[in-house]
Structures are given as structure tokens and as C-alpha cells.
Amino acid sequence: MDATFSTLLSRMQELKDLGGVIGLATWDQETYMPPKAHQARASQLATLQGLYHERLIDPRLGELLAKVAAASPDERAMVRVLGVERDRAMKVPAAMVKAMADAQSQALSGWRKAREAKDFEVFRPALEKLLALRREQADAYGYEAGGERYDALLENYEPGMRVKRLTPVLAQLKEKLVPIVEALCSAPPPADVFANKKFDVEAQWRFTVELLHAMGFDLEAGRQDKSIHPFTGGTHAQDVRLTTRLNEDTPLPALFGTIHEGGHGLYEQGFLPDHFRTPLASAPSMGLHESQSRLWENVVGRSRPFWSHFYSGLQKYFPSQLGHVSLDAFLAAVNKVEKTFVRVEADEVTYNLHIVLRYELEVPLLRGDLQVKDLEAAWNDKTKATFGLTPPTPVLGVLQDIHWAWGELGYFPTYALGNLYSASLYACAKRQIPTLEASIAAGDLLPMRDWLRKNIHNEGYRLEAEDRVKQVTGQGLTDVDFIAYLKDKYSALYGVKL
């Protein structure tokens, strides 16, 4: 390693360390921070993010990137990834970065208060300020001729994705899903085996920790806590923070929230030690990151092989509630397809329709064609048109997601892309490991984890997301595997031809 790259590497490590502290402060904000600390945390995060931005745009870093002679493919990839991040940061003034951090903290506080009051108007002023800053930021980033602001924000989460490509992908997916949803929702629904029962939250907690162990999540390099909205954060591959949500009326949010976040956590723990504290210790896109959580939550975690082993353990925790419920009845219940209000609790068949709904609101919000004052009504109209439902309260509608309080416009589509990637990756894993589902049925989840570790996690940000998937599976972004997976699984579960 030459002297210039060694100096550059120390700068990379410094940026990673700062990012880790920001991640830890943000995680604490959603878990243990006392309610009165919001303003203090807003100031702290604004300062830290300002420092990160200053380090990133430092002219000396630009000089190092310009003259460095990267010797290996990994070194060249590090330079490329950091160079792209720096180029984007150079376009955004430091004052805007600090203003955004403050606006995010204020919006989080406003969102919580609005949910408590069940009143969108409580959140509206903070969201208007945040949206104005995001528009300003998108304009600062710039976008290609013929493109639009949303492209600039998509780049934060799904590099290379553009509205002109994404819109037809989501439109085609919606077109294929609607008849499947209608067919399944017209069939006799499975029995609700969880109704009118109570599930001790501490027992739920203990079982979710068992699931994390089985998935191969290292609880000496991570932990699980509780939050309103489950998420994964942390500071480093050896300090990964998961959260889940507990509800005594049903164990489903905890079970599948933990499996979902565990999938994210395995990705974070799977980066190579040589990549620690460098730009390569990261996923190339949120869509690819989401493919890991959706693969574990749905493709593995809601499957017959998975529960043929783990269901007896769940029954031991809840003998009076589930001891008399058959595996078939349980599987039917956890895979129930229905039109509902809440995205995070939606089944995997209707889930992407929730994503399309949000996408169809975000794009006009960024354009300025939809005003925040009209957002709740627009949300309700689209929910009615898509699902035939009208939210009785904004908590079940426009206030249900934390993403807009974080200012994460452009993030939602990555969930749909993750679903598509997950099906393609799992289909490839089954081809390469003929005994995979037998291993899962025996309670051995490590072959699945190890295949993902080798093909996805260890690779970090060496390639862009679609290039990585294409290298592994032989094809890029497609809905073919996902639709085939849904039809095969739900035809059998519901006894209908799809």
C-alpha cells in the first residue's frame, strides 16, 4: 500500500467512525433516549452530521482521491464509492446539512406527537419544512436532462435507479399483483388463530432471541431492543443494533419483525474484516439490503419448511394459545392475504401495493404538484382506490410510517426492489443447494446464511446492486421469480389457480 493510499485509508476510517457515532445516536433516539432530550439530540446530530460533511468535502480529501494510485480491485472500489459520495456532498452546502439534521429531529418529535393526538395537522408544519429542504437538496444534487427531483433522492438509496425506469417496473408489478390479490381475497379466508388471545410479551421476546440465534446472528456483536417502528442500526459490523415491536394481542409483529431485522443484521455483520471502517463495509443499495430482510422474513420465515421445525418451540411458549392449533392452520394464518391499512403488517402479496401507493404520492410531492396540506386526503383517496378501505385515523393512514419523519423520500421503492431481488436470490440458492429446504426443515438455517454471506454479504460494495445480483443469479432486476414464487406458494395455500 503506497503512502497516498495509506493516508486516504485513514480518512475513510475517520468518516466511518463518525458515521458509526451518528448511527448510535440515532438508534438511541428511537430506543432509550428520554422524551425531553429531543432538542439536545437534534443539536448533537446536527453538529455530528456537519462534522461528517466538513470532513467529506475537505479539499485535501479531494486531492488524495485525485492522485491516489489504487493497487487492488478493492482499493479501486473504495476510491470509486468514496468519490461518488464526496461528489454529491460537494453539491450540498454545510448549512443545508445542519438544517436537514435539525429538521429531521423536529419532524420525528412532531410525528410522535401527531400519532398520539391522531391528528396529521400536528405533524404537517415539520413535514412541510422537511419537504422544502429535500426539494432544495434535490435541486442542489441536480439530475439528468429529462429527469426530475425524485431521481436525485433515489440516488441516495438506489444508485442508478430513475423515475423513468422505476415507474414502469412498479406499474407492471401492480398490474400483475391486482388479479392475484383479488383471487386470494375472494377465496374463503383462513381462520384467525390469534384472535381473542393474549401473548405474553416477555415470552415473545425470548422466542425472538432464539430465532436470531438460529439465523446465525451474533448477539456478542449486536443486540435487539424495542421501538415503535422496527429498524436496524448501529456503528460497525461488530456492533449491530436491531429493534422489534411487541404486541400482547398477537405475536406476529415480534416474530416477523425480528426475522426481518435479523436479515438486515446478518448483512451488516457479514462484511469482511478487511473492509471494516472503509466504504466497502456497506450495501450497494437499500434495495439489496431489503432483499436480505424480505428473503428471511417471507421466503424463509413464512415457509412450511421453517415452521415445520420452529412451530413446536413457539407452541411451548404459548401452549394454551397455540397448543391445539395445527401447523397447517398456523401457516394459513401467518400467510393470510387481505387488504389492510398498515404496510409493516401487510402480507407479502399485497405489500408492494402499499409501496406503489407511497411512490405515487412522493413523486408529485417532490414535483410540487401535491401539497402537504392535501397529503392526508390524497393518501385516503389512494387507499380507497387500491384497497377499498378508508383509514379511520391517520395513525392507520398517512402517519403510519416513520420514513417521512426521517425525511427519507425515495426510500419506499427500495422495499419493492428488495422483494424482487429476494425471490431471484432464493431461487438461485435452491438451484445451487438442492438440500436447502431440507436443512431449513431440520432447523439448520446456516446453509442459507452462509450462501448469502458468500454471495452477498462478504462482497460489500464491490459492485452496484443490480450488477451483484446479475453476477450471482445470471439476471438483473425482474419480477418473474417473485410472481412465480407467489403463484406457486399461494395456489397451494389457498387451493386456487393463479
Could you give the CA distance from residue 498 to residue 491 in angstroms, rounded to a whole number?
Answer: 6
Return all residues near 213 (Cβ < 8 A) that are at least 6 apart: 219
Return all residues near 367 (Cβ < 8 A) that are at least 6 apart: 148, 149, 150
State the Rg of the chain over Cα: 22
In this prediction, residues 298-309 reach a mean pLDDT of 98
Q: What digits encode the pLDDT tens for the residues 132-166?
A: 999 999 999 999 999 999 999 999 999 989 999 99
Residue 105 pLDDT more than 90?
no
In this prediction, residues 369-396 reach a mean pLDDT of 96
- Confidence band of 98 (pLDDT split at 50, 70, 90): confident
Strand 239-244 relative to strand 222-226, pairing: parallel
Question: Which cell numbers hold the place of 261?
Answer: 431485522
Question: Which cell numbers hold the place of 190?
Answer: 383462513
What's the confidence (pLDDT) of residue 173?
Answer: 96
Q: What is the mean pLDDT of the chain?
A: 95
What's the confidence (pLDDT) of residue 376?
Answer: 98
- Confidence band of 31 (pLDDT split at 50, 70, 90): very high
- Note if the pTM is more than 0.85: yes
Residue 489 phi/psi, 5-degree rounding, is: -70, -50
Q: What digits encode the pLDDT tens for the residues 198-216?
A: 999 999 999 999 999 999 9
Residue 365 pLDDT more than 90?
yes
| Comparison of pLDDT for 97 and 258, the residue scoring more | 258
What's the confidence (pLDDT) of residue 46?
Answer: 86
Q: What digits encode the pLDDT tens for the residues 426-481?
A: 999 999 999 999 999 999 999 999 999 999 999 999 999 999 999 999 999 999 99
What's the confidence (pLDDT) of residue 368?
Answer: 94
- Can you state the angle between helices 38-57 and 94-117, rounded to 10 degrees? 150
In this prediction, residues 409-423 reach a mean pLDDT of 96
Residues in the chain: 498
- Confidence band of 27 (pLDDT split at 50, 70, 90): very high
Could you give the CA distance from residue 57 to residue 322 in angstroms, rounded to a whole number?
Answer: 57
Residue 412 pLDDT more than 90?
yes
Could you give the CA distance from residue 326 to residue 164 in angstroms, rounded to a whole number?
Answer: 47
For a pLDDT cut of 70, what percent of the chain falls above it? 100
What's the confidence (pLDDT) of residue 71?
Answer: 84
Residue 1 pLDDT more than 80?
no
For a pLDDT cut of 90, what percent of the chain falls above it? 91
What's the confidence (pLDDT) of residue 93?
Answer: 87
> In this structure, are residues 279 and 81 in contact, taking their beta carbons and an 8 Å threshold?
yes
Question: Which cell numbers hold the place of 231?
Answer: 429498524
Question: Which cell numbers hold the place of 70?
Answer: 489504487
Burial classification of residue 60, based on how many CB atoms lie within 10 Å of its CB (0-12 exposed, 13-18 middle, 19 or more buried): exposed
Catalytic residues: 261
Q: What digits encode the pLDDT tens for the residues 240-282?
A: 999 999 999 999 999 999 999 999 999 999 999 999 999 999 9
- Can you state the angle between helices 94-117 and 120-141, rounded to 10 degrees? 160
What's the confidence (pLDDT) of residue 97?
Answer: 83
